[in-house]
Structure 1
């Protein structure tokens, strides 16, 4: 456990890698964006050319890419981790994925004697970097215990959901559906405040200290009021996560009242050309409604 690989070092993966390096861990990193790995190399990370190389020196591997296709490529592609994974290695799956995809990946890895921890994260890049983000971990207790020091280094809020990979993904989708609903609600409320001529900064101050408060709503609307749409969390992320949550709801026979419209709002923001902007762009979408 004294050496770990991080495959995918974007906002969250890069934050985790930097955090581990600052805590004295040996970290191998791999990403298709060389600028990202180069920045971590300056902090002491070892740069890998392919995920397959990661299994040479480390026995624990953090996969932190965007979606299921990227995860499948990292794990089982021509230069994927599975080429050199050994029995007893552990893979942490940190992207927000459909539960059935997590279950399928875990089953394939188990055929090689490789452990899977379904470990989606929440909290944003700053919390990934300082180790205060949340991890929703699903996997066998023995594997969670063996990875305990790493999990504590990554997160001050580790929740062991169950021993069943897939339940971490289910928990994350429930959480992110609520985050998406809260964000769309905050953007709509602020758009209404704008329409009726209120001072937006003062309105947000009131909301932050009153019953309408939500962390994501305040965080994103502060950015929106400053005109700051530089991406910390792209519109496409909650677009994907709310879509996956609604698919999960439908497969469970659950009729969602608010999730569908919230998910549609993120899709509309994408269609409006704001896919690569911060999801604070929901304010622009809802503020432009007649």
Structure 2
């Protein structure tokens, strides 16, 4: 890919993941405009070479794509169709890349409304955390027509070294992400449970995790979160509320499909309980704290 790109990418929502994605693109020579309600995050990316937007509707009309990386469907709706949303300036042929983890039916509805404007949708939820988003090694689960994919291939490959083409239908990326995140939630609750148990049995949690990481109980999210939990580090990288939302949406999608599994709904409830226990704004590693303190 060329180190200098004449067109601009718009990043709407530059939290942990969106900000890391924008920083990755800037480091690769892309021109990036950013918009977020947090002026500190905007200023940080301006220092890396981004241009700031006050509202989404100020985005450059010649942009190659508009990346939406907010938290939920309500924020997505506001960014796209609110009073100062992107819909005010989007033109036929533009492409919106939807990265939030939201319900498949919401993705389908947004894609239909954008299609009525002649605007393409790339359903592209992501996974891997901010460090992987920053170095371009995160996963992207992409669902869009082949022609749209081909048009945006340079951008998608700059964002991720692991682009999975799920299908041609918007909503299938969201379905894949929910399946993945439900397993992530189950794995995290399981890892927190067994490390809390290890403590009750008088074992050293760090040494126990050493064993797990080299044995059949290993999981990436378990290792990543439990190392922080053992150190008492609950500074938020991904708040408890995010996997609470994602596992809830996954369980709802499962039920809508007539499927009821033994673990998903239970793991989802643990995140809801941790939220009610006052841990909502902590990193989701705090599931260990919640279970250990019970």
Band of TM-score, shorter chain? over 0.9
After superposition, what is the alpha-carbon deviation per residue over 1:59-108, rounded to whole angstroms, capped at 9, x for unaligned?
A: 41000000000000000000000011000000000000100000000000
Secondary structure class of the residue paired with 2:105: helix
Aligned residues of 1:122 and 1:135 also touching (Cα < 8 A): yes
CA distance in 1, matches of 2:79, 2:246: 20
1:281 matched residue in structure 2: 286
- 8 Å Cα contact 1:52/1:82 also seen in 2: yes
CA–CA distance in 2 between the matches of 1:253 and 1:94?
A: 26
1:151: how far off?
A: 0.6
User: Normalising to structure 2: TM-score of the pair?
Assistant: 0.97
Cα contact 1:133–1:157 (8 A) shared by 2: yes
1:19 aligned onto 2:24 = yes
Report the counterpart of residue 64 of structure 1 in structure 2. Answer: 69
CA contact (8 A) 1:55 1:86 kept: no
- How many pairs are equivalent? 289
Who is 2:276 aligned against?
A: 271
Separation (CA, whole Å) in 1 of partners of 2:53 and 2:241: 28
Partner of 2:249: 244
Q: Which runs of 5+ in 2 are unaligned?
A: none
CA distance in 1, matches of 2:179, 2:24: 27
Shift of 1:37: 0.5
Distance apart, 1:55 and its partner CA = 4.6
Q: Determine helix, strand or coil for the equivalent of 1:253.
A: coil
CA contact (8 A) 1:55 1:85 kept: no
- 1:82 is matched with 87
Determine the structure 2 residue equivalent to 1:43.
48
8 A Cα contact 2:140 2:163, kept in partner: yes
For 2:174 and 2:206, locate their aligned partners in 1 and report how far apart those are by CA, in whole Å: 36
Partner of 1:162: 167
| Residues 1:140 and 2:149 are matched in the alignment | no
Q: How far, CA to CA, are the matches of 1:54 and 1:276 in structure 2?
A: 31
Match of 1:94 in 2: 99
1:189 aligns with 194
SS of the residue 1:136 aligns to: strand
Quick one: which of 111, 128, 146 aligns to 1:123?
128
Runs of 4+ deviating beyond 2 Å: none
Residue 177 of structure 1 deviates from its aligned partner by 0.2
Q: Distance in 2 between matches of 1:66 and 1:103?
A: 17
Cα separation, 1, equivalents of 2:48 and 2:14: 13
Deviation, 1:57, is: 4.0
SS at match of 2:84: coil
How many angstroms does 1:56 deviate by?
2.6
1:106-151 Cα deviation digits (max 9, x unpaired) = 0000001000000000000001111000000000011011100001
TM-score by length of 1: 0.99
Asked if 1:231 corresponds to 2:236, the answer is: yes
Deviations 1:19-59 (A, max 9, x none): 00000000000001111000000111010010111253414
Residue-by-residue CA offset, 1:252-287 (whole Å, 9 max, x unaligned): 010121001100000011111111100000001111
